[in-house]
Structure 1
Amino acid sequence: MNGPQASWLPDGRRLHLNHGPIDLIVEGFGAKDELHAAYSQAVERFQTILPELVEELTELRRPASTSPRRFTGPTARRMEAAVAPLAEQFITPMAAVAGSVADEMLAAMVAGSRLDRAYVNNGGDIALYLAPGQQMSAAIAGTGHGLADRMTIRWQDPVRGIATSGWRGRSFSRGIADAVTVLAANGAAADAAATLVANAVDLPGHPAIVRRPACELAPDSDLGDRLATTGVGLLTPREIFRALDAGLAVADQMRRQGSIQTAVLFLAGEHRVSGMPAERFTRGVLSHA
């Protein structure tokens, strides 16, 4: 594996950071000198973030409990903090790794700088920074369901993290959601919640759903021999609604507990929204009263 790599994308505005499985797009907005400092800080922090995680990887792959463990690295601590409130069901800190890396990199980027806006996109799991009066538009996954493909997050909205999970994604899912997009206070919280909501969109035992033990797909998976979804066949409308409603119940519970702000669930051309009226999402605007 090569060491940490940093390069500018062709537009000259976005920084690409890559090291092993971590692949980030970073962009800031503000005065030129402030941006220079912010990007330099991001590159410096990126040098050690993966080695720090590797040092504690064995424990990070073990199930969380409601009593948080003590980790050394700041990214590992973010991961554990995100999953501990959700640990009444099976979850490991790895469910929040992408969002936690995004959060950690964003924190390093904006430390001591005076940016207007910034984001770190870790494969679709995003951490946001907005100075007072600022807003940012973001694309969402799972479109083609009658919903807008963009939303606007304003600085006064209690959202600084966006994450998407589903069985078609880069990580294993135990459910059948095409995509579940979650908006939360930070990337780590959004990442962990999206994982569990996507797992809950399910029809256990359905013959049209193909599953395999995660350890057969990836020997080092934190899921062990738990089944991961590898294919979803034809479902009836009633079955689609039942699976979505199961996921929606989990999302609604998380929202009532304060773990998330909004979740949008997609399956087979249908969707459910938890946290704001669907028509407001259709206009692509996030607004909390």
Structure 2
Amino acid sequence: MSAPQAAWLASPGGARRLHLQHGPIDLVIGADGAPAATAAAYDAAWARFQDILVTLVGELALLRQPLGQAHPLLRGPVARRMAAACWPHRDAFITPMAAVAGSVADEILQAMTQAAALDRAYVNNGGDIALHLAPGQSFRAGIVCNPDHPHGDAIAVLDAAQPARGIATSGWRGRSLSLGIADAVTVLAENAALADAAATMIANAVSVEHPAVQRQPAQLVRDDSDLGALPVTVSVGVLPIFAVREALSHGVRRAHDLRRRGLIQAAFLSLQGETETAGGDLPAGISQQAVG
């Protein structure tokens, strides 16, 4: 296994961002505040990052097991975050791996905020983002529905006065395999781990049976997948509008259920140019407007 890597990235206005990479973990980190505070936060992020991947690999076999009625006995702090975020969804098929990206982001952010008083900070793990917002601060993120043809389709706003501090996106076009056919589902939740797990479950629910949808057993698509023999989406052809809307309606019902349970604040669902929003009426949420 290669060693963790760190590099500085330039940002508009001369601010610096920290890039941390180790195996599949790829983080872009930003911090706003007094110079001494941001320096301390970046140092803390790098120090905490050192054993994240090694510790996770040590418990990977258990992390790939579906959750049941007995809570898994995990040791590492990131692994425990993963299980806790996925636990509310255990009535359906889910493994703690559904929250791995968000949990890593939350862990690094916690190290930063414990090391220094910051105005604002974010840890972006491949699009799953953990946020710190001091009073009066906010964070805006553009949402891209189709990474093959990227442009701003909507905007997510997180405000310090609202509880959401995590953003995550899932869908069949993303980095992870999906049981559903959503191009993208973006979720705002209390933290990035909860958003990650919820985005996975909502994206799985966006589904319809149609000849244009091609699925294969997950283990044939990716031999290390935690989804085993479950059929995952590998291709979605052009669907009739009634099928698109039916698939989205299943996802919207799941999103509203998770909102009622307090597990998410808002969700934005997209499929072949059609979109739906749950929670867009909130002061901090997701609105369907173009991002310039």
Q: With the length of structure 1 as denominator, give the TM-score of the two structures.
A: 0.93
Return the letter of the residue paired with 1:50.
L
153, 157, 174: which one pairs with 1:152?
157
Tell me whether 1:236 sits opposite 2:240 in the alignment: yes
Contact 1:66 1:86 in 2 (8 A): no
Match of 1:165 in 2: 170
Deviation by residue 1:105-140 (Cα, 9 ceiling, x = unmatched): 100111131100000000000000001111111122
Contact 2:279 2:286 in 1 (8 A): no
Return the letter of the residue paired with 2:241.
P
What's the % identity of the aligned pairs?
Answer: 53
Match of 1:258 in 2: 262
Contact 2:62 2:72 in 1 (8 A): no
Match of 1:3 in 2: 3
1:27-42 alignment runs, 5 A limit: 27-42=30-45
Tell me whether 1:213 sits opposite 2:217 in the alignment: yes
1:116-131 alignment runs, 5 A limit: 116-131=119-134
1:44-123 alignment runs, 5 A limit: 44-123=47-126
Return the letter of the residue paired with 2:249.
D
Deviation by residue 1:177-236 (Cα, 9 ceiling, x = unmatched): 0000000000000000100100110013x2111111110111111000111101001211
Match of 1:179 in 2: 184
Match of 2:281 in 1: 277
Any stretches of 5+ residues in structure 1 without a counterpart? none
SS at match of 2:97: helix
Bigger mean CA offset, 270-279 vs 33-42: 270-279
Summarize the Cα distance change of 1:124–1:145 in structure 2 as closer, same or farther, 3 Å threshold: closer
Alpha-carbon distance, 1:168 to partner = 0.4
4+ runs of 1 displaced by more than 6 Å? 143-147
Summarize the Cα distance change of 1:145–1:46 in structure 2 as closer, same or farther, 3 Å threshold: closer
- Aligned length in residues: 284
Whole-Å separation in 1 of the counterparts to 2:151 and 2:23: 37
Whole-Å separation in 2 of the counterparts to 1:32 and 1:15: 14
Whole-Å separation in 2 of the counterparts to 1:76 and 1:85: 16
Summarize the Cα distance change of 1:4–1:145 in structure 2 as closer, same or farther, 3 Å threshold: closer
Return the letter of the residue paired with 1:14.
R
Match of 1:196 in 2: 201
Whole-Å separation in 1 of the counterparts to 2:9 and 2:199: 29
Any stretches of 5+ residues in structure 2 without a counterpart? none
Deviation by residue 1:7-60 (Cα, 9 ceiling, x = unmatched): 101346110000000000000000000011000000000001011101110000
RMSD of aligned Cα (Å): 2.1
